[in-house]
Structures are given as C-alpha cells and as structure tokens.
Amino acid sequence: MMRIQIGLGVAILLAAVCLATVPAQARDTKYELKIADVMADPRYAENVPSTVKFYFANQAAPAGQDLGEFVTNRKTNSFGKQDEEACTWAMISAMKELGERALAEGGNAVVGIVSFYKKKVFASDTQFECHAGAIVAGVALKGSVVKVAP
C-alpha cells in the first residue's frame, strides 16, 4: 500500500514538473488605433497637460529649441476589459507622461511622436500601436520635446 502511495506522489510531482517546463504562450495582440479617438475621450482632457501640443510622425510642427528625445512605456491592467478600452487608457497615460516630461524639461510641445513598442518604430500621423494581453495592455511612445514660441 505504501509503495502505491509513493508511486502516485512521484507521478503527480513528475506531471507538475513537466507542465511547468512547457513554455506558456502569452497573448500579445497588436492594435493600430486612432489617435483622434483617444484625444476625444474625456479622460484625455482630465489627464494630459493642455499647455503641451503634440505632433505625431510627419505632422507639420513649429520649429523650436530641441530639449531632447524621450521614451515612455505605459502599461495598464487589461484583465476583464475590452482590449481597445485598455489601449485607450494606456495611450492616455503615455501622453500624460510625455506632456509632463515636456513641462519638466521647459518645453511646450512634443514632436515626431512615434509608437516604439519593443524599440520598433511605427510612425503614423493618425494611429498609434498598442499591444494587449490577457492581463496587461501597453503603449510605448518616443518623441522630441521642444520649446516653441507661444
């Protein structure tokens, strides 16, 4: 009887070890969503500094003093949320961070903003890239802070 119990215990332990060594396939769904939809969300106006102007990819931007290039990588909890909703909030958070960085550096605009997920550029004047998984959604942006004449 003892031999069967030990054998069963070893079998369960072996099964657990085998399952633990199987690589998990985490979901990483890529979305290209409209920047205008995010900027129209009421939470955008509540969170992103209104004194900072944002120019994406190749949008014409006023010339100004370049204060440096900065990257933001914002994540949000996406558990139980629609992917697009989680992506919207992650984008608002990323824009807030860029805006606050611009103000901290003495700037009033961020130009040439591109999506920068895993350091790969996705440049668009109208869309941003977001990646959503089962638990987390994220947006990474890169742009140059500038001080332009008011």
The span from the CA of 119 to the CA of 107, in Å, is: 24
Which tokens go with 91?
């984008």
Of the CA atoms within 13 Å of residue 112, those in its CB half-sphere come to 13
In the three-class reduction of DSSP (H, G, I as helix; E, B as strand; rest coil), residue 46 is classed as: helix
26-147: what fold?
A: Translation Initiation Factor IF3 (3.30.110)
* Domain spans, the chain: 26-147
| CA distance readout (Å), 97 to 57, 92, 129 | 18, 9, 17
Q: How do residues 71-129 score in pLDDT, each as one tens digit? A: 999 999 999 999 999 999 999 999 999 999 999 999 999 999 999 999 999 999 999 99
Q: How do residues 1-39 score in pLDDT, each as one tens digit? A: 445 455 554 444 444 444 443 445 589 999 999 999 999
The beta-carbon contacts of 22-29 under 8 Å, at least 24 apart in sequence, are 26/133, 26/134, 27/132, 27/133, 27/134, 28/131, 28/132, 28/133, 29/83, 29/131, 29/132, 29/133
